[in-house]
Structure 1
Amino acid sequence: MQRRDFFGKVLAGLSTATLPLPVWADAGAPDFVTAGNKPDNSTWLVGLSVAADVRFQIPIPGRGHAAALHPTRPEAVAFARRPGRFAVIIDCTTGSEIARLDSPDGRHFYGHGAFSPDGALLFTTENDYDAPAGVLGIWDAADGYKRIGEITSGGIGPHEVLTLQDGGLVVANGGIQTHPDMGRAKLNLPTMQTNLTYLDTHGAITEQVALTGGMHQNSIRHIALDHRGNVVAALQWQGSPTRQVPLVLRHARGTAPSFLPHPDAQHLKHYAGSIATCIESGEIAVTGPKGSHVLFFNADGTPNGSARHGTAAGVARSPSGGLMITRDGGLLHRKNGIEKLIPVAGDWSWDNHLVPISST
């Protein structure tokens, strides 16, 4: 793809539309979207309200990971768990499939994607596994999600990608080399290199921050933006199992990353899952589904306690204030340090991410 202003695409025909466009209220007015499984191993895209009502449940062809939500219409991209070959674009008002993305030859998805601010383009994190290299696939949402190109992710193993406030992108390159012929085997742990890569609206890399030295095996996987627009990241340690390391970092553009240690980090069992920040207080929450714990940090990065929650998975800002966390039995709402479990009907198990309909 030419290095042009790829965020400048405008969806054709919007100015001449005569019928009202669908909105999230038409899909049952959910507050969050997540992937869930039922006891019969069926796999679903689920819309949840802050009151823990299931507003929609739409079958998807395999275990889901994260979802990308279109910024202007009730459309969700359900991504397969890595290494995945499918991503399904779903009209959440009808449950119908709009399009299905199949990874090109030599590529597989990593379970995440992000739309450009105007919704014209979708970016997907992918593995060019024979290179090996990470790429961002580019898909035209105005033309049936046709693939129109790709750009470098700036590293190996790109996992999550976010759209920044300036319209650019930030990518968490986890640094772990894999190949679908070898399942989920990690092929380069002794030499792996993980980084955050920032790209401008032309797809050019403007900044990279790599973890080096004794932290080069601390894989950056999931990211969020804090109350100041800086990146906070959840890490997954790939080094010695007897070593305890910080599993959260924060990065402000133009500075070195800062690790956020926590006295209870060992409860996560070297695996930080989802991460989010509270819009009112700046509190950071990091889930540990393998350790059934959640770590909390104050806005300044200092520890703010932890709590045990069975298979704590996704976390997101709540439109009712505070944070919402998916866990065994339903949703956990945390606000001003007070936690309340809100049961969700049905015996659901949740995947790692809870995506808010609105970022605020």
Structure 2
Amino acid sequence: MRRRSFLALSAAALAAPAWSATGARFVTAASRPDNSTWLVGLSDSAEVLFQIPIPARGHAAATHPHQAQAVAFARRPGRFAVILDCLTGRETARLTAPEGRHFYGHGAFTADGRYLLTTENDYDGPDGRIGIWDVTAGYTRIDEVPSGGIGPHEIRRLPDGGFAVANGGIQTHPDYQRAKLNLPTMQPNLTYFDPQGQITEQAAPPADLHQNSIRHIDVDRAGRVVMALQWQGDPRQPVPLAASHRRGEELRFHPHPDTAKLRQYGGSVAVAGDGSEFAVTGPKGDHILYFRGADAVPAGGDALPQASGVAQMGDGLAITRTGGLTLRQNGRMVDHATGDNWTWDNHLVPI
């Protein structure tokens, strides 16, 4: 199966089951004070239930729709991905990006679970690519397609079996580490693929916000995409760091009274399980913003030290922050401590 139909045989998005043998509810990347880097399995009370050493910083993970597997990715410009057995909390294999490519820290499975899609950089192009890996053939790399822009970051499966890809617009090259090479001309966009792998729609910021990088996204039950943005322009210019999009409409930006507290950097975004709100974290600003689910009206915020990953949990949200995990439901916050000195990366992924 190649690019004309790489996404899924079935357009039905399957709900991911809970693989609870280890008791872990989430996987996240983390580091320790000695600069060692890890993948960590957390319970819903912030207990560390497994920890897997990795050669460099990790970022996010993708969970298989109906097998007890997850694939965790290196942070850009890393070239490794770790396959996890969610029943045992152990590493079973690793993937390596092909020559001339590196991962952007995210991936997603097709609805039938047969293929893994990975966001990648063709850094000598430069061009964004979506790598295609055949899970049934032991995660064999079989093809790739253009992502629709430069700097593809997070990819999410849609309710109809297609995908949304956040093309951040920032050109990078591993020879220059994490240097951003095209900020004056960057052009981020949100690109939609149908279940046959064809680009069907793109949405981009207006010219005066072309430096508002679209990096992290989530999708609600109706297929609306919500976004956490990272401003690459004049640091003195106030800009919204949250946006949303419905297919067939214009991109909508969502100012918030506390946006400045994020210090121009939205770290992660998630829709609450009951759809009542979505949240954007600000790890650089020790803050998290909330927006009403129905209409994205600002709904307050909280000071949370190094608020990093946010993920759906039950009807509410779970948030990683310094020292542990905070659970939020109906405006009520409950803190749980890990008891260890971990620093979390930007993402928290349910398993």
Q: TM-score, normalized by length of structure 2? A: 0.94
User: Deviations for 1:78-127, whole angstroms, at most 9, x for unmatched residues?
Assistant: 11111111111122334443332111111111000001112111000000
Letter in 1 for 2:39: L
- For 2:7 and 2:298, locate their aligned partners in 1 and report how far apart those are by CA, in whole Å: 38
User: Deviations for 1:161-218, whole angstroms, at most 9, x for unmatched residues?
Assistant: 0111111111000000011111111111111100000011221100001113101110
Q: Aligned to 2:267, what secondary structure does the other structure show?
A: coil
Q: Does 1:301 align with 2:301?
A: no
Q: Number of paired residues?
A: 344
- For residue 6 of structure 2, what is the aligned residue in structure 1? 6
Q: Aligned to 2:136, what secondary structure does the other structure show?
A: helix
- For residue 101 of structure 2, what is the aligned residue in structure 1? 107
Q: Aligned to 2:4, what secondary structure does the other structure show?
A: coil
Structure 2: unaligned runs, 5 residues or longer: 11-16
Q: Aligned to 2:347, what secondary structure does the other structure show?
A: strand
- For residue 156 of structure 1, what is the aligned residue in structure 2? 150
- For 1:8 and 1:156, locate their aligned partners in 2 and report how far apart those are by CA, in whole Å: 24
- For residue 128 of structure 1, what is the aligned residue in structure 2? 122
After superposition, where does 1:196-235 map in structure 2 within 5 Å? 196-235=190-229
- For residue 168 of structure 2, what is the aligned residue in structure 1? 174
- For residue 13 of structure 2, what is the aligned residue in structure 1? none
- For residue 269 of structure 1, what is the aligned residue in structure 2? 263
- For 1:9 and 1:83, locate their aligned partners in 2 and report how far apart those are by CA, in whole Å: 31
Letter in 2 for 1:312: A
- For residue 86 of structure 1, what is the aligned residue in structure 2? 80
Q: Aligned to 2:213, what secondary structure does the other structure show?
A: strand
Quick check: 1:114–1:162 contact (8 Å CA) kept in 2? yes
User: Deviations for 1:268-317, whole angstroms, at most 9, x for unmatched residues?
Assistant: 11000000111225211110000111011112111111111110000011
Letter in 2 for 1:4: R
- For residue 192 of structure 1, what is the aligned residue in structure 2? 186
Letter in 1 for 2:345: D
- For 2:3 and 2:74, locate their aligned partners in 1 and report how far apart those are by CA, in whole Å: 29
Q: Does 1:252 align with 2:246?
A: yes
Q: Does 1:284 align with 2:274?
A: no
Q: Aligned to 1:185, what secondary structure does the other structure show?
A: coil
- For 2:87 and 2:2, locate their aligned partners in 1 and report how far apart those are by CA, in whole Å: 35
Structure 1: unaligned runs, 5 residues or longer: 11-21
> Percent identity between the aligned chains?
60
After superposition, where does 1:41-56 map in structure 2 within 5 Å? 41-56=35-50
- For 1:314 and 1:101, locate their aligned partners in 2 and report how far apart those are by CA, in whole Å: 24
Letter in 1 for 2:5: D
- For 1:159 and 1:285, locate their aligned partners in 2 and report how far apart those are by CA, in whole Å: 19
Letter in 1 for 2:297: T
- For residue 62 of structure 2, what is the aligned residue in structure 1? 68
- For 2:212 and 2:170, locate their aligned partners in 1 and report how far apart those are by CA, in whole Å: 10
Tell me which of 24, 29, 35 is aligned to 2:29.
35
What is the Cα deviation at residue 346 of structure 1?
Answer: 1.4
Q: Does 1:344 align with 2:338?
A: yes
- For 1:57 and 1:102, locate their aligned partners in 2 and report how far apart those are by CA, in whole Å: 21
Letter in 2 for 1:115: F
- For 1:281 and 1:117, locate their aligned partners in 2 and report how far apart those are by CA, in whole Å: 21
- For 1:166 and 1:334, locate their aligned partners in 2 and report how far apart those are by CA, in whole Å: 29
- For residue 25 of structure 1, what is the aligned residue in structure 2? 20
Q: Aligned to 1:25, what secondary structure does the other structure show?
A: coil
- For 1:23 and 1:267, locate their aligned partners in 2 and report how far apart those are by CA, in whole Å: 35
Describe the shift of the 1:25–1:340 C-alpha distance in structure 2 as closer, same or farther (beyond 3 A).
closer
